[in-house]
Amino acid sequence: MIIAALSLGLIAFVGVLRILRAEAVARRIVTTAQDALQVISTPDLSDIEKERRVRRASLSLFARFLAIAGIGLASFAAAAAIVWGGAAAGLYGLDAAMSAAVGWPFLVGSTLCAVALWLALDRIGGKRETPATQTGEVPYGPMEQALHNFAFASPARQRRLGALETRLYRSRIDEDRAARPVFVTSLPRAGTTIMLNVLAETPEFASATYRHMPFTLAPLLWGRIAPMIQKPAARTERAHGDGIEVSGDSPEAFEEMLWMAFWPGHYHADRIETWSARDHDPAFARAFRTHMAKIVASKPGATRYVSKNNANIARLPLIDTICPDAAIVIPVRDPRAQVASLMRQHARFLDLHTREPFGRRYMEGVGHFEFGQALRPIAFGGTAPDLETATGPDFWLRYWIDAYEHVLATASRSAVFVDHDALCAAPHETLPALAEAIGADATDAVVDRATIFRSPGPPPEIDGGSPPLLGHARGVHAALLDRALASSAPSHRRRVIA
C-alpha cells in the first residue's frame, strides 16, 4: 500500500510539473542567461548599455527562478497531499511511508519511472514542435547553447583551461608530433572544407572536430568530459546548405579561436587586421605548437596536424616564421563561381542570424566572421570594404581581388596553390601531386578520397558586377593559376618535402 501511495504521489508530481509548464519556464531561464552572457561579450555595446541590459536580465532571471521554485513547491505539495491522505485514512503509518520514500531503491526507481512517464506523456500528447534552436541549421538545445555561450564569453578562460590541460597531459603531448603541419587556407567557398575532409579522414592527419567544441583549446581534457554530457550527433547537412554533412567526429575550422585568444587587438567590430612576420610572439608560437600536438594526440595513430582556417591568408608570413616546416595549401577557384557562392552564403546567413541569434553568437565565438550579421572582412592592404554594400556583387568582387592580391604578395614560394576547378574535374590526376607536395606518407590514402569530388559546371555570370572589376579578377585568377601550375611541378614538390 505504501508503494502504491508513493507511486500515485509521483504521478501527481509529474502531472503538476507539466500542467504548470515547468519545461517552458526552465527554457526561458536558460535563454535569458544566454542573452546576458552574450551582452557581456559583445564589443559593440558600451559599458553603461551592458550594465543596463544585464540588470534587466537579472530581474527577469529572479522572477523566473521564483516561478520555477513555485512550480516545484506545488508539485511537491500535490505528491505530499496524496501520501499524507493515505496515512490520515489509516492505510499505513506516515513514518513508514517517509522511510520508504527516502530509501535508495525508491529514489532510483522513482527517478527512472518519472523520466519514462514524462516521455510517455510526450508521445501520448503527440510530437511537440521542435524548438527553432534545435533545427539542422542550429543543432543545439538550450543547455548546449548556454554551455557554448559560457565558453565563448571569455577567451582568457579558454587560455587558462588550455594551460591547465598542458600541465595535466604533459606525458601525452609530444611536440615533435606537431612537425610538418598542413594549413589549408583561402577565402571561403574555394574548396577548403572538402580538402580538409580529404586529408583529415586519412590515418596520418588529425584535425579539430565538432567533438572538441566549445572548449577547443583543451581538446584532450574536454574530450574526456564531453562524452559524459553530450549526445551522439547524427550526420546532418551543415548550416551552409551546400550538401556537406557533418557529425560530432567531422573535422572543422576551430583553429581561429586560438588566434582570437592571443591576438584580441586584431579583431575590431567592422574588420580584422592582417598579421606580418614582425608580429612574431614566442609565447604564442609555443602555445600554437602545443595546441597542434594536442590535436594530434587526440586521434589515435595520427602523426601530423592539419587545419582549415580561411583567416590564415591574413597571416601567411607569420605562419611561415612560426612553422617553417609547414605546408600551406591554398585552393583557388574561378572568381565568378566563388563570388556567386559568397553572395549566396551571405544572404543565407543574414536570414539565419535574423531568425536564430545563437547562430551569430556561435559563428563569432568560433571566429567565423565570413558571412551574415557576423561579417567582419579582413582589411587586406590596410582597409576593409564598406559593410553597408555587402549585399551587392561589387563588394565581394573587390574583396576577392584584395584577398588574392594579398595572397600573391605574401605567400612564400613553397606555398602549394591548387586549382580547385581542375581538382574537381580530374581528382585522380591532381590528388597525387597534392599528396606529394605536402609530403603525405601514404599517397594512396589521399587519392582514395577522389570519389567525393564532382566535376564543376560552367561559372555563372555575375549580374550587376562591374566589368572593370570582373576583368581585374580574371587577371588575378590567371596569376593564381600560374602559381598552381608551378606548385604541381616536380621541383616544387621536392622543395616542400625537403
79-118 pLDDT tens trace: 888 888 888 888 888 888 888 877 878 777 777 787 777 7
**3-class DSSP state for residue 418?**
strand
Burial call 42-54: b when 16+ CB within 10 Å, e when fewer: eeeeeeeeeeebe
- Tell which residue, 445, 438, 447, has the closest CA to residue 203: 445
pLDDT at res. 435 = 93
Nearest residue to 162 via CA among 254, 228, 231: 254
Compute the distance between CA of residue 202 and CA of residue 435 in angstroms, rounded to an integer: 11
Least confident of 38-52, 264-278, 283-297: 38-52
Residue 131: band (very low, low, confident or very high) from pLDDT cuts 50, 70, 90: very low
Highest mean pLDDT among 51-60, 197-206, 480-489 belongs to 197-206
- pLDDT tens per residue across span 441-477: 888 999 988 888 888 888 888 888 899 999 999 999 9
pLDDT digits (tens, 9 = 90+) for 193-238: 999 999 999 999 999 888 887 888 888 888 777 766 555 555 555 4
**How far is the C-alpha of 255 from the C-alpha of 213, rounded, in Å?**
11
Per-residue pLDDT band for 141 (boundaries 50, 70, 90) equals: low
470 vs 15, higher pLDDT:
470
Residue 296 grid cell: 594530434
Categorize the per-residue pLDDT at 485 as very low, low, confident or very high, splitting at 50, 70 and 90.
confident
Where do you find CATH 3.40.50 in the chain?
Answer: 152-497
- CA dist 269 and 329 (Å) reads 29
User: Which pLDDT band, with edges at 50, 70 and 90, does 123 fall under?
Assistant: low
Instruction: Report the relative pairing of strands 245-246 and 236-237 from DSSP bridges.
Output: antiparallel
Give SS3 for 112.
helix
Cα 80 from Cα 11, distance rounded (Å): 11
Task: Pick 68 or 426 by higher pLDDT.
Answer: 426
Q: What pLDDT is attached to residue 128?
A: 45
Query: Could you tell me which CATH number the domain at 152-497 has?
Result: 3.40.50
**Which among 85-94, 134-143, 254-263 has the top mean pLDDT?**
254-263
Report the C-alpha gap between 265 and 263 in whole angstroms.
5
pLDDT mean across residues, the chain: 83
Distance (Å, whole) CA 250 – CA 200:
9
What pLDDT shows up at residue 494?
Answer: 39
pLDDT at residue 322 tops 50: yes
Q: How far is CA 436 from CA 34, 306, 491, in A?
A: 47, 15, 11
Query: Greater confidence, 46 or 286?
Result: 286
Q: How far apart are CA 455 and CA 420, in angstroms?
A: 10
Q: Would you say residue 42 has pLDDT above 90?
A: no
Residue 259, amino acid: W
With H, G, I as helix, E, B as strand and everything else as coil, classify residue 275. coil
- Return the minimum-mean-pLDDT range out of 44-53, 249-258, 269-278, 312-321: 44-53
